[in-house]
Amino acid sequence: MKLLVSIFIFSIFSCSNRFDTIYFSTDPKSFERNISSELEFDFREEFSGSQSVKNDYKTLFNAIYFEGDTAGFFFNIPENAEKSEIKVSFINKADGKEYPADRIETHGGIVWGFSNLGGLLEKFYYDKLFQRVEPNNGKLLAEFILSVQIDSGGRIEKLKRDGRLVVYY
């Protein structure tokens, strides 16, 4: 019986075209409906033994930028919404500053997009860019709010979700 209830609930959520849940993903085009609010990235292997990558935060963030990792999201699109009417921003919880997503796309009733991780970290940690970074086994945490605003047939719909970036280097 539990299995039947679970399948029923899953089918309702998977078929729903409601704008009610934002999903986070390091690969937003996969549309994997992970409910975690944490995006975790591990660069320890890429940067192991590379002292020059970790002189300061700016150098570290540039190296992460060129790795190409993204802080991604996706959600169902309301029926009457157009891509041009969708605004998605990452809001830094530490200072309240808002940064528009680098990319927003639509595909088959789903809006997906991302911001480059290195660029986002540089914006979130702007005041620390030239501080020295310890070379090994470092960890960064950045808490954010993903803010979505959609003009759906003349009606503004808004949705926000708390998230967290965890970066090991």
pLDDT tens-place string over residues 84-132: 789 999 999 999 999 999 999 988 888 999 999 999 999 999 999 999 9
Does residue 16 surpass a pLDDT of 80? no
**Cβ atoms 97, 169 nearer than 8 A:** no
56-93 pLDDT, tens digit per residue, is 999 999 999 999 999 999 998 877 676 678 999 999 99
Q: Which single residue is written with the structure tokens 């967290």?
A: 164
What are the Cα distances from residue 121, in Å, to 19, 21, 41, 129, 162?
28, 24, 12, 10, 16
In order of start, what are the domains of the chain with their CATH numbers?
Answer: 2-168 (2.60.40.10)
- DSSP codes of every residue in 22-62: -EEESSGGG------SEEEEE-HHHHTT-GGGGSBHHHHHH
Residue 120's closest CA among 95, 163, 90? Answer: 90
Residue with tokens 């003349």: 154
Q: pTM for the complete prediction?
A: 0.82
For residues 104 and 115, what is the distance between their CA atoms, to the nearest angstrom? 9
What pLDDT does 7 receive? 35
Mean pLDDT of 135-140: 79
CB-based contact 142:165 (threshold 8 Å): yes
Give me the pLDDT at residue 62, please.
93
Residue 50's pLDDT is 66
- Residue 74: the pLDDT is 93
Going by their DSSP bridges, the two strands 81-92 and 98-100 should be labelled as antiparallel
Q: Who wins on pLDDT, 140 or 19?
A: 140
Q: Are 164 and 37 in contact (CB under 8 A)?
A: yes
